[in-house]
Structure 1
């Protein structure tokens, strides 16, 4: 009878997979000995595997290069990293080793861009796409960047007032884009995105505020879908509506030459994840080319803004099962040595699922359980896996420590959880490890941040003053 945890995985999924395999009964992630990592650094533990960031950037570049060659597409492709997914220096340092561009979403993002310029990570050839709703500090920072000579900075106009505010601060002529307020999926509580300008209003806006304005040059139309780039009738319908706006605008504005198809690629959230990235890119490029050829206008340069896709699959979190509580005849609660609210806020805030696997004891028998965090909040739990609708783990044994890992957690979790700050029930932020490889593929690890201490937390609360 197949009763081992490894049997369960093998009969449910194709396993091993590219990033996951076993060494005896211990899990490896990109050939990293995870149990060895825990033995060296302890748990709870967060880690970032830096090479995965560069790998995903170059995968996407390859897909667009292949699609443009296949379709004889004459425009260029520009990969932008949207910093809101993870602002950490180690992420941006790794990303900008790959000749990419950047998208900002708030005032302090521009300060990060200036730091990257100082360090040489960003040059004058780097395109800085400034998105988001802009008010005084953001306007000032964008203006400072442009006035200091970074001419490839392109503020994306989000509302009718922003252009005038920018012109008051920026010296000389500068480039701009316009964001389309796309319509949301029918399941949303509202019909139209709060960001951008409506489809029908963009050409009139151009005629009124831009056409005869000698201080600006319209270069980009920005199209963003909140649910990302997916093979759905909703996505293709919105893309075609966007292309109609681009064509109408292009016929009146020759300087318009770029289309930003914001909204990212999905990342792997299950061992059963399937997504044909190359097909999607091929079809997007093909649809753009067909629409432009039929309208007899030049195809645009293509920009993408990939945040989660860039950094998400580089991250992970490891916990130890501290104790098992049998709460009734059916529910067993495995308690972890941290909090989901603290370390994986998306798991409870938006019910986001991550890949969850045990780190060790794969050859032990398994049981169905629930996972609970350390806070006294009823929402501090993780209760289902994609495609399984339950959590199965090797059976709890107080004499045999069990460690579990959550994978592809690298986007948003630190910023939403509040890195370096206070957390629910004062559960400390765990130790964070950076993992890299040298030119010979040799693994190297270093501590980015230690686990919070009581003194760290008390200082924030004012008790240390």
Structure 2
């Protein structure tokens, strides 16, 4: 009877996979020796494998190039990175190696854009697509960018008042887009997105506020739905409604030449993940072209704003199983040496599933467990509601540490968890390591951030450093005296 952890994975999934392989009963991720990484940096540990960012960008570019060629599509394709997924400099530096554009969502994003421009990472040819609800500082920052000469900005109008606010702040002419307030899936608690303008209101809004405004040029229609780009009747129906608006708008607005289909490419969340990206891209391009051809209007240039797809599959988190608690005759709790709430908060907030695998112990027998975090919060756990079916791991042995990895965690988790800030129950942010490859393909690691210290957390909380230092010295003296007593 096959009862080893390897047997379970091998029988349940198609394994090994492109990024997951096994070497001497230990998991490898994109050729990274994870146990060697643990031995060097310890656990808990966060890591970012930078080459995966460029890989995903170029995969998407290839799919769109193939679809454009297949359908003889006259428009171009522009890949934008949605910065809110991860604002870190190392992420932007890697992404911008691939001739892409930027999508922003708040005021401070513009400061990042200006910083990147000053460093020569982007230039005047880089599109800056500004989404989000715009007030005060965001409007002023967008205006500053445009007034300083960055004309390749498209500010996406989210509400009726933004035209007036932007016109007051921007010296010359500027380009805009309009976001469609898409209808949500029936299971949502509300019918229409809070973002953008209603389908029926867009053409009247153009005629009233934009058509005769000499400062404003409408260039883009923006379409995005919360559930992302998926092969469902709901998605195709919303895309068709969007195209009807595009056609109507194009007939009264010749300057309109771009369609932004937003983001929403899914990323791998289990070893059973199956999504035909090339098919979806081909269908989208084909349907857009068919609608435009039937209406007798020129096809739009296509923009996307991929965030999670760009950076999500580059990230991972590693934990050690500290202890196993048998709470009743059926439930065994494997307690990790960190917190799910603070390090991968989407598991707690939206029951998001990530790829989860044991890193070592693949030759051992397996058992069904629940995973618990260190905080005293009853919601700090990861179980089968998030994970596919049950959670099975190699049997726990207190004398042989077991390590587990959560993969494809690179999008949103640091910003939602509050990187470098306060953490629930003061569980420190783990050490974060960047992994790259040199010109010869050899792995190169560098420490981006050490694990948070108590001094850093106490400083945020307003505790006096002098008092804290005195306390630390007193504690050290007490510990020393205790050791002498024991000896």
After superposition, the C-alpha distances for 1:347-393 in whole angstroms (9 at most, x for unaligned) are 01000000000010101000000000000000000012767421000
CA gap 1:76/1:55 in 2 versus in 1, 3 angstroms: same
- Distance across 2 between alignment mates of 1:438 and 1:204: 55
1:134 aligns with 2:141: no
**Corresponding residue of 2:220:** 220
Aligned residues: 465
CA contact (8 A) 1:117 1:123 kept: yes
Shift of 1:217: 0.6
CA contact (8 A) 1:365 1:394 kept: yes
**Corresponding residue of 2:350:** 350
- Distance across 2 between alignment mates of 1:454 and 1:376: 18
Aligned residue for 2:223, secondary structure, equals strand
Shift of 1:260: 0.1
**Corresponding residue of 1:187:** 187
**Corresponding residue of 1:267:** 267
After superposition, the C-alpha distances for 1:26-58 in whole angstroms (9 at most, x for unaligned) are 000000000000000000000000000000000
CA contact (8 A) 2:347 2:386 kept: no
- Distance across 2 between alignment mates of 1:338 and 1:268: 24
Shift of 1:439: 1.6
After superposition, the C-alpha distances for 1:151-175 in whole angstroms (9 at most, x for unaligned) are 0011100010000000000011111
CA contact (8 A) 1:27 1:34 kept: yes
Aligned residue for 2:261, secondary structure, equals strand
**Corresponding residue of 2:461:** 461
Shift of 1:263: 2.7
CA contact (8 A) 2:352 2:386 kept: no
In structure 1, list runs of 5 or more residues that go unmatched.
none
- Distance across 2 between alignment mates of 1:76 and 1:363: 51
1:449 aligns with 2:452: no
**Corresponding residue of 1:394:** 394
- Distance across 2 between alignment mates of 1:280 and 1:387: 26
CA contact (8 A) 1:227 1:263 kept: no
Aligned residue for 1:224, secondary structure, equals coil
Q: In the TM superposition, what are the counterparts of 1:372-391 in structure 2 within 5 Å?
A: 372-384=372-384, 388-391=388-391
Shift of 1:261: 0.2
- Distance across 2 between alignment mates of 1:386 and 1:159: 36
- Distance across 1 between alignment mates of 2:262 and 2:406: 27
Aligned residue for 1:7, secondary structure, equals helix
Shift of 1:289: 0.2
- Distance across 2 between alignment mates of 1:388 and 1:184: 26
CA contact (8 A) 1:180 1:221 kept: yes
CA contact (8 A) 2:179 2:197 kept: yes
Q: In the TM superposition, what are the counterparts of 1:152-231 in structure 2 within 5 Å?
A: 152-231=152-231
CA contact (8 A) 1:180 1:223 kept: yes
**Corresponding residue of 1:101:** 101
CA contact (8 A) 1:184 1:192 kept: yes
**Corresponding residue of 2:281:** 281
**Corresponding residue of 1:404:** 404
Aligned residue for 1:55, secondary structure, equals helix
